[in-house]
Structures are given as C-alpha cells and as structure tokens.
Amino acid sequence: MKFLELKNCPVCKSTNYKVFKYGYQNLYSEQIALKLNISEKVLIKKLKNLKCGKCGLIYKSKWFDEKILKTLFNKIISVHPKGWDANSKKFSQDFFKKNINLLGILLKYKSNRLQLNKLKRELTSIIDSIKEKDSKIKILKFKAVKSIENNDIKSLKKNFHLLKENFKDPEDFKRFKGFNSSRLNSFIQDLTGEIKTYTEVGCPLWGSIENFNKAGVECNFIKGKPHEFWGLNCKKNNILCHQKLSKNIKKFSSFPIKKKKVDYTAIYLYLDHVLDPYKFLKKIFNFSRSVGLILEHSKSGVPVQHFTGWSAQSVKYLAKKLNKKVYSGFDPLNNTGKDFYLLK
C-alpha cells in the first residue's frame, strides 16, 4: 500500500529533523500488520519517528491515508479499549484471578497467539493501575509484570496473592480510572475561573463530562472524526459509547457555531491522532476560550497508532503560533506517563 510521506514538520514546517526512537509493539501494530500482511517489525520501521530540530515535535515519516485510518478505528479495532475500561469492573481480584487461570490454559495448549498477547497486555495494565503506596508494592508490581512477560504462572499467582488487598480503587489517571478527577478539575478552574460551559472531544467515557453535567454545567460532546478516533462502531451490548451520555448533554459531529464561546474544551489523548494540529486547534479556539490537552510522554517512542508525540517544547511552540499562553505542572498526571497543558 502507499503511505502519505511527510516532508515537513506538521507544526512548524521545518525540514530539519533527526530519526527518533522507533515505536513499540502493541495491539495496534499487531492488528495493522495483520491487515497489511506484513510483519510488525517491518511496519514499525516503515513508520519511522522523526524529531523536528526546530519545535521538538515527534512525527511519523510516513502515515496512513484516511481510508486505512477509518478502517482501523471503525473495523479493525472498532471498540476503544481504554475508554470502556475506565471505571469498568475489570480492576478486581476476581477478574484478575480468573484471567491468571485463562493465561495458564492458553500457555499450556499453545492457543491463539493474538488472544494470548491481548490477555497479557490486559493483566499488565491491571497491575500498572495498582496504587504504589510504598516501595514494597512497587517491587511486587515489578515482579508481577515480569512474571507475565516470562509466562511464569506460579510466580504470578504468588505475587497476586501478595497484592490482592490493593485491588480496591485504581490509581488516578491510569487505564481503569480515566481522567474524571476532582483534583484535575480544581487545577483547571484555578486557571480558567469557574467553568459554566464545558465540552469534551473524542471519548465520552473517560473524562469529567458527567460530573460537570450533574453540577448543572452546560455540557457538549464532540464526536471524533472517523479517520482520527473511535466512535462509529464503538459499542458494547449494542450501545454506542456516546449513547452512554446523559440525554441533556448536547452531541455534535463537528464544532458548532456559537454566539458565545464555551469556557473550556477537554481534548484528552486525541491531538496525537491529528494530521494538522495547528489547523485543528485554531478551529477549536473559534469555539472555546480555553483548551485542556492530555498527551502521553514520548520518551519511549511514539506508537504506531499515534501520528505525533509531544513535549513541553512542542506544545509551547504550537501555543505561541496560536497566540495563546500555556499552563502546566499538574504533577499527579505527570507521574503516570502523561502531561496536562492548558492553553488560553
């Protein structure tokens, strides 16, 4: 297949770059490689990560066309895993114990490799979501993850037994908690003032939109574009993700024209899917007074499903281009491998 080749940085248009770390294998590299009938390693090497020498943005040297991206988000992996996992019942002793046993069966009978990989990723995510109250728990978590990686069921059961009392409430901002946080919302409103009109873009399942709605705030939800994010077929038990929202929350497929701008728009783990970040945010600022971004750290490389990787340098450059100020420093999120930036 033909890829879109990038000759310039998507943000500053510079041609000065260096090759950054390659991406890493995950669910998306596995499924896309299957679809394209190539190996994961070939796919990852083909989609090299480049780091711009001017603004610091990390971006792919080649990218998929819209047709492939629509297929990825709506057919290949049509259900957004992290969205549905936020506040699900998977973070529990019973779920973990049941799936340790399933892992043992899959390993014993050398069953479906894809199912095995998926289960190991899921168990690892659950361990990662355990709160690290002290160094002992941190060490036990490390040992449990190593047990999963090494297919050591005996060791995994032992570490699970030592950790099982910690399966009560997942760590904030990890996979099974999402971004619905009173601490984050207070931090945001210290910067923006009281939020009376609130919007979320992308995933309706992992943010604070329902909490703001219950508090009497006027709320909007903007669906992601089919070639940028999940939504068209993102459903469980025949219920689409956005149908889970309260009925009084207004839903749109694109940014509506409003006489008065909304106070705040949350764009959480979405910007790294966008081909033209400047154009995207410029459009949002016609609609919103302030924008909150949550972005993953890019130190380990940018995964296959993300077009860009961001740092404080690249966000500041983009904000300056938009004539906006940047505010950051929300440490509870930074400690989970992500960063929060508020632009206004």
Q: Which tens digit of pLDDT belongs to each residue from 78-129?
A: 999 899 999 788 999 999 999 999 999 999 888 788 899 999 999 999 999 9
Q: Which residue type, as a one-letter code, is found at position 181?
A: S
Average the pLDDT over each of 51-55, 288-292, 305-309, 329-333 and give the range with the smallest value: 329-333
Mean pLDDT, range 41-66, rounded to an integer: 94
Cβ atoms of 258 and 197 closer than 8 Å: no
Cβ atoms of 176 and 85 closer than 8 Å: yes
Say if residue 1's pLDDT is above 90: no
Residues of the chain with CATH 3.40.50.150: 182-343
Q: Which tens digit of pLDDT belongs to each residue from 145-195?
A: 999 999 999 999 999 999 999 998 999 999 999 999 999 999 999 999 999
Q: Can you give the pTM of this predicted structure?
A: 0.92
Mean pLDDT, range 242-260, rounded to an integer: 90
Question: What's the CATH number for 182-343?
Answer: 3.40.50.150
Cβ atoms of 220 and 252 closer than 8 Å: yes
Q: Sort strands 218-223 and 250-252 into parallel, antiparallel or unpaired.
A: parallel
d(CA 273, CA 65) in angstroms, rounded, equals 12
Q: Kindly tell me the burial class for residue 218, based on how many C-beta atoms sit within 10 Å of its own C-beta (0-12, 13-18, 19 or more).
A: middle
Cβ atoms of 19 and 59 closer than 8 Å: no
Q: What is the pLDDT of residue 36?
A: 87
